[in-house]
């Protein structure tokens, strides 16, 4: 009888441990996902800094602004560096026009 109880308790413990292990695996997966995301954001941040610095330094930034725009980001002051997606933006277009630049397409 007590032997059976021990077996049962052991079985429950095994199940509980398996659950904890499963949850840990989920946490590890999430940490990996976040680490990848952080790395991506750090690289993007570095790239945007470069663009901003060269834009501040004068003419050299124009081609990089245009590149940024063509990569799908806003370069207009109100939405600068936000994802533009496939949509056109009147602010961006008039900004490019003022700089004498032409977007792709």
Roughly how many angstroms between the first and final C-alpha of the chain, as a whole number? 80
CB of 89 to Zn ion, least distance (A): 3
Q: Is 92 in the site for Zn ion (CB under 5 A)?
A: yes
Report d(CA 69, CA 14) in Å as an integer: 56
Binding positions for Zn ion, 40-59, rule CB under 5 A: none
Q: What angle do CA 92, 94, 98 make, to 5 degrees?
A: 115
Residue 91 makes contact with Zn ion by CB under 5 A: yes
Tokens of 39: 């790395």
Q: Scan residues 64-83 and list those touching Zn ion (CB under 5 A).
A: 74, 76, 79
Residues of this chain that bind Zn ion (CB under 5 A): 74, 76, 79, 89, 91-92
């Amino acid at each position: 009888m007590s032997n059976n109880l021990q077996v049962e308790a052991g079985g429950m413990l095994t199940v509980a441990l398996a659950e904890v292990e499963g949850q840990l695996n989920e946490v590890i997966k999430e940490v990996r996902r976040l680490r990848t995301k952080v790395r991506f954001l750090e690289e993007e941040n570095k790239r945007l800094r470069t663009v901003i610095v060269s834009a501040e330094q004068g003419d050299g930034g124009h081609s990089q602004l245009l590149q940024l725009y063509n990569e799908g980001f806003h370069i207009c002051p109100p939405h600068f560096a936000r994802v533009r997606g496939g949509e056109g933006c009147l602010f961006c277009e008039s900004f490019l026009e003022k700089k004498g630049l032409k977007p792709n397409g």
